[in-house]
Amino acid sequence: MWSRTDLLDLLEIDHPIIQAPMALSATPALAAAVSNAGGLGSLACAEISLDDLRTQAGELRAATDRPFNLNFFAHDPPMENADVDALARKRLKPFYEELGLGEVPADPPLPFGSFDADRLAALLEIKPAVASFHFGLPAPELVRGIKAAGCRLLCSATSVAEAESLAAAGVDAIIAQGWEAGGHPGTFDVSFEDVGVGTMALVPQIVDAVTVPVIAAGGIADGRGIAAAFALGASGVQMGTAFLSCPEAQVSESHRNALRHASDQDTRLTRAFSGRPARARNNRYIDAMAEHRRPLPAFPKMYGFSDPLHEAAAASGDPNFQFLLYGQAAALNRELPAAELVETLVAEAQQVLGAR
């Protein structure tokens, strides 16, 4: 059925479609539906507790006997900088006053950490077929533990140099994530906010640079995008935004409405919520924070300052302070159950590929 099957053979799946592990939006029900439909369902495990990780993975395993993916972050711990924190509090004070939130937190705790020995232990207990990473790979000894357990290892790359380093580190397949993707790019180095390579340019260059299967990600929303990825040399695709409109996704009504009315131009990269560039729906808060490119507390510490704004806005329905993550192709979304969406994507891709 598919002209290139190395990724299918590697992951033991029927269709080269990976549901992206979107933090707080991808649920066990969503991941199970995708896996049962022949793709690879994914859970985002970086921002949840170890207890929730074990619980959600148990729910997923009970709902499917097919392979699934658990995803983690491998970010550097944030550097403490009292001056940057003070400046952030000063910049956020007017917004806190506008929403009646009181004082900006003086020193909020980190909401979550990077992948460590405790998360490795939980991963080895669960032993998923696939483990994936964002923002690079964890320490070599942790990678060795994952590989020794027999998990297939995937990681995102946003440049050829990143892809080459991942191949040298022994990953089994590389997710070539283009500029168009929603959420946080998997960039290892976040020195730049508005610099990136689009999927169309990135995928063939990574394909030429490595020998492992390449998975295209970013701006892929329908069967035409899947067929284009194959034409560029990819062995599969990872899709996130397309699955946000599925009923199994955990998405607020504000988020769903934004997706229903999305256009190609209503997102931008911003550090204003997390401290790390992320593609989200633009709003007044994001615009205001971008007016002066001053340093912000690093990822994920910035969440401690911005979360009260997002939570208050979500409760009231105010679009000006919500962190609504999605990519540049959201206008192509369909509101379908996840299994039906996978079936539709496969049929569309096969029709295009068959016409070649």
Give the model confidence (pLDDT) of 155-210 as tens digits: 999 999 999 999 999 999 999 999 999 999 999 877 655 668 999 999 999 999 99
Report pLDDT for 196: 87
Mean pLDDT, rounded, for 44-56: 96
Which residues fall within 8 angstroms of residue 318, CB to CB, at 6 or more apart? 99, 312
Mean pLDDT across the chain:
95
Q: Give the number of other Cβ atoms within 10 Å of residue 293's Cβ.
A: 10
Q: Is 44 helix (H, G, I), strand (E, B) or coil?
A: strand
Whether 111 shows a pLDDT value over 80: the answer reads yes
70 neighbors 22 (Cβ within 8 angstroms): no
For the chain, what are the domain ranges? 6-77+113-262+327-354, 79-112+265-325
pLDDT band at 254 (very low <50, low <70, confident <90, very high): very high
- The CATH number for 6-77+113-262+327-354, chosen from 3.10.450.50, 2.40.50.140, 1.20.200.10, 3.20.20.70, is 3.20.20.70
Q: Where are the beta strands (DSSP E) in 40-121?
A: 41-44, 68-73
pLDDT for res 189: 78
pLDDT of residue 87: 95
Neighbours of 75 (CB within 10 A): 23
pLDDT band at residue 130 under the 50/70/90 scheme: very high
The pLDDT assigned to 293 comes to 76
> Rounded mean pLDDT of 82-109?
95
- What pLDDT does 246 receive? 98
pLDDT of 194 reads 61
pLDDT bin (cut points 50, 70, 90) of residue 13 is very high
What is the distance between the alpha carbons of residues 94 and 320, in angstroms, rounded to a whole number?
A: 13
Q: Which amino acid does the sequence have at 153?
A: L
pLDDT at 240 over 70: yes
Q: Which two tokens stand for residue 246?
A: 């599925």
Mean pLDDT in residue range 208-220 = 98
Q: What is the pLDDT of residue 156?
A: 98
Report which listed range, 73-82, 147-156, 293-302, is most confident. Answer: 147-156
Per-residue confidence at 355, pLDDT binned at 50, 70, 90?
A: low
Residue 167: how many other CB atoms lie within 10 Å: 20
pTM assigned to the model = 0.96
